[in-house]
Structure 1
Amino acid sequence: MKLYIGNLSYRMTNDELNKTFSAYGDVLSTHIVLDRETQRSKGFAFVEFSDKQAAESAMQSLNGKELAGRTIVVNEARPKPARQRRAG
């Protein structure tokens, strides 16, 4: 199960994110989304768990909590919408 993590500190690292969420279960991956041009964090990330119960526990425990000075939002990640092809 994949979680969306919003309102992250721009200084947060994948290792710090992994350490925080690993307290709730086996984390398969963490991915902080970066701006393509500047390579700086966009302030959100995705964390994937191997176990749905662990992901739900992390979501319930961490949503609305402070992490690195910011109140984070934790939700189940939604599938990426299909992109429209440009005519031309």
Structure 2
Amino acid sequence: MIKLFVGGLPPEVRELDLVQLIAIYGEVQSIKVIRDKLTEKCKGYAFLEMKNYEDAKNVIMSLSGELFKRNALFFNIVEEKPKLDRVVFNKNSSKPKDLNPQKTKRPRKRIALETNKISPYPTIKDQS
């Protein structure tokens, strides 16, 4: 699958509108319109996955610069970045930090609450 970036989208665009427009030029596997969390309006771009490189190239060649709801569309192929192993170092050490440490739990100190007859609020006594 080839991932494409689509820019120049109007705020009122729907996923169905894009699929209907793009499906003529190639098979769309998935689509994600990026929306504002508060207003639910499109931020002007989306990501879609095409079945193969030929379909993606056909969409780019056919629709780049075309008007869609008064906006000019543009497309880019998204390069997949290789995932790198993440290494975290301790602040004062040159040794890598263990990302999944098995922490031991410290026993909790027991305290007893006593009510004071003068004050309705409890006082804390340390029972060590």
Q: What CA distance in whole angstroms lies between the structure 2 residues aligned with 1:79 and 1:32? A: 19
Are 1:8 and 2:42 matched, yes or no?
no
Separation in structure 2 between the aligned mates of residue 7 and residue 76 of structure 1, nearest angstrom: 15
Higher relative contact order (CA 8 A, sep 6+): 1
- Contact 1:4–1:77 (Cα < 8 Å) also in 2: yes
1:1-88 equivalences under 5 Å are 1-79=2-80
Query: Cα gap change, 1:78/1:38 in structure 2, threshold over 3 Å: closer, same or farther?
Result: farther
Specify every segment of 5 or more residues in structure 2 that has no aligned partner in the other structure, as ranges. Answer: 84-128
Q: Say whether the 8 Å CA contact 1:63–1:75 is kept in structure 2.
A: no
Report the Cα offset of residue 78 of structure 1: 3.6
The residue type equivalent to 1:30 in the other structure is I
Bigger radius of gyration among the two: 2
Identity rate, percent? 27
CA offset at residue 40 of structure 1?
A: 1.8
Counterpart residue identity of residue 43, structure 2: K
Aligned-partner Cα distance in 2 for 1:77–1:34: 19
Q: How many residues align?
A: 81
TM-score, scaled relative to structure 1: 0.82
Which residue number in structure 2 is paired with residue 86 of structure 1?
Answer: none
User: CA offset at residue 14 of structure 1?
Assistant: 0.1
Q: Distance in 1 between matches of 2:55 and 2:8?
A: 21
- Higher helix proportion (structure 1 or 2): 1
The 3-state SS of whatever aligns with 2:21 is helix
Q: Cα distance, 1:39 vs. partner?
A: 2.2
